[in-house]
Structure 1
Amino acid sequence: MDFGKLACSGGTPVLMEPIRDGWHQITDLEKQAVMDLMDHGVLSVSKGGIVGEFEEECAQFIGTRFGLACCNGTSTLHSAYVAVGVGPGTEVIVPAYTWHATVTPILHCSATPVFAEIDPATLCLDPADVERRITERTRAITVVQVWGNVPDMDRFRDLADRHGLALIEDASHAHGATWQGKRIGSFGDIGCFSMQGGKAVSGGELGMVVTDSAELFDRMLLLGHFGRIDEGQAGPTFPGIGDMSLGAKYRAHPYAIAVARCGLSRLAELNRLRTRNYAILNDVLRGVKGIQTVDPIPGAERAGYLEFKFLVQPELLGGTRDEFAQACQAENAPVNVDRYSDLNFTYGLLHLAPLYNGFDRGDMGGCFHDPERPELRNGLGYKQGDLPVTEDICSRMIGTPAFADVPEDTVERVGLAMRKVAHHMNQGKK
């Protein structure tokens, strides 16, 4: 195949203009749903109504007994940690490769996050490494189905059960994904979903937490949903506390729920398009020297996505991932260095982020470190090289947007642009 000169060297770009995705999160459907609430004077719903309906719909979709709408994904994770008993003297095993909201609520519980390696095949937690890090302090394991990837959830469920630990799922990227035909979010004691503006099902700022446990549901009600304790399912979980509960307010806005309900109704089509387009890219790139595809493992059905991910192998490619991404961008292919490990975009991998290393959390007020472990108030002691697998994978990761309503031939041309750049780098022409 004659790829021609690279666009960054004066050649013709593979794509003549930037890609515009025809999938829109806000359509007439969402506008009408919000207007209907406005027309009826609805500004806030404490319980029941559209809130209760959406909670039931999400629980039914995931396959759990209970759903609880929250104001965002971070609040769902905080609710989950509180419900399973994360507190002073306890640890939660988490990946360092995730958005900070997976981990920061652990600090708000005065507990300690323990970072574990990810599996190169899934980009999710490596269960073998997780088991090595379990101690008498461990209270929970949090599996993040990052970018819609799905690990062996049966293995994590077995691991948690054998050690008497809570299993929490951060499924914020994986709306509609399954393992062995069962929905992600239903394997853990609690499943947490962000429905922030970029997610597959979005309310702008919204979250949903699901569980089969009546007691855990009640505990989450008590934390962030005052005025709803009469909905408790496990009987008098905390008799005598009264309607105030613990007084926090993690209530979701009804307009956000109205938008998200429309998104849930369109989720199957969004996932179908994104799965098709990711497969097109992987097929075009499979076997290209220096580029490694990330495919679903047997039994996994990915969904949600947020972004499509690939790995470069610089020693085979003949250049760095930054050089590769920049050359692809010149071809009008929207290829970027992975945002979770790019210090120009975020704080990089969490085990090396300032909040966990060298920042005195004890001077902030509140409860951002474990009072039983004062030696950790200035950081957890991680350093470069402590998670060699994670650090290596993330230093080589690139991504594209999770294309939805984009013509198949356009998606294929994105892959061809990446092939073109790889070909020239293989030949030593940058």
Structure 2
Amino acid sequence: MHRILPNILFIVIIFILATAFPLSTDILSLDLSQQIVDQPVDEVVITPKISTVLPELQDSILTQELYFDIKSTTSVFPADLLSTYSLDVFSSTKKVKSIPLSDLTAVKVSDIDHQKRISISKSTLLEGLDEGYYTFKLVEDNKTQDYSWYASNVNYSKVLLKTTNQVSNGNLGLILYYPTSDYQNLVPISRIIKTPDNRWRTLYTTLLNGPKTGLGLYEGTPSIPYAPNIKISKGVATIYMYSANIAGFEDKFPMVVKGISKTFMTLGPLDGVNFLLDDSSNKTVSGVDLKTTFTTGQEKSAYVGYTKDSNYMMLMPLPLSTSTFDDQVNEIIKILKGHTELASNVFSVLPDEITLQGYTLSGSNLQLNFSANIDKVLSAYPEYELLMYKALIYSCTSLEGVSTVQIQANGVNVSNSLIDFNAPVSADKYLNLEP
């Protein structure tokens, strides 16, 4: 009896509790197999860093394509990959056009070592441009990269007029300064003739009759005013002209005087050339004071290439503007590369990728040390390679105190079937021999 009473009391308590608080059945539906998940966090998106990788080696006109690489830190690249890039195209130092890469259809994009390689045919970039040497610069986000690609669209089909020192017995060599087709510059043309009775009159008549046709020089008749009388006295040549003869040449008269003077001084020996108009020197024609004795001989000059409507190339001197020797050497290189304003129908003869590393003047021999590519870049085009060497020889030997030149490629004397610089080389007296 004593044992039953506590059990009954316990059952009563349970009954009271059960009826006082409603029983929830949710606990009976719990899925204890589900994982307990931590509080979710925001997803972190890594933005790739894009960088441009330029070639390590110097480019050359010998290569047909230019390329550079684009690198991504995540190997993920934007869809508009090329939108921030463009190429500036330079002729010498003058920018001729800028090309957005996104506008080009000929761009090749390749996957190389988790990078994108961008390749473009150089011929595509040269479409519509004049013949010559060109340089390309990459621009990224309006910032020009410090690397250059080089290209050429020269057809290399023309022939360089020859030079010589040889004139056989019974012949006379003439160096005639004929005006260019626009009458703005003078080109020395050499002609070998039978020795005449009066070489001075023959010289003037030959100059008067103009150059051989087909050279791209001025072919008007006559090419200079007629002079009925020429007098040589005490080392001075006097050219007699009359008003009727210079009709039509008034505006050309400065070039007329220069061409005649330089032509006569090369035949020499002469101390100078005088001009009389209507038997008087007290006159001025187009700014030319006839009281002046003209002594223009060989000037300090850079010899560039000239061609115009012709199958031929020839050397044409352009006077230097600087005074010190160092400046003159550097000016020659700039002019030969076309880095200064050139005359019409004149083209650069030294590709921009070739660099002058230094020079040494030993006695009267000037040794020029260029980058190693000077004997390679034009080796497939012998006429143009020889033009480059001849231009350097004639330009440098026009400097005071220089009579011979040696050209080196990275410290090694250039020597090939065209020319041998193992020994000093001088300029031939007669240049641009008529074909």
TM-score by length of 2: 0.23
Question: Which of structures 1 and 2 has the bigger CA Rg?
Answer: 2
Q: Quick one: higher RCO (CA 8 Å, sep 6+), 1 or 2?
A: 1
TM-score by length of 1: 0.23
**Which structure has the highest helix share of the two?**
1
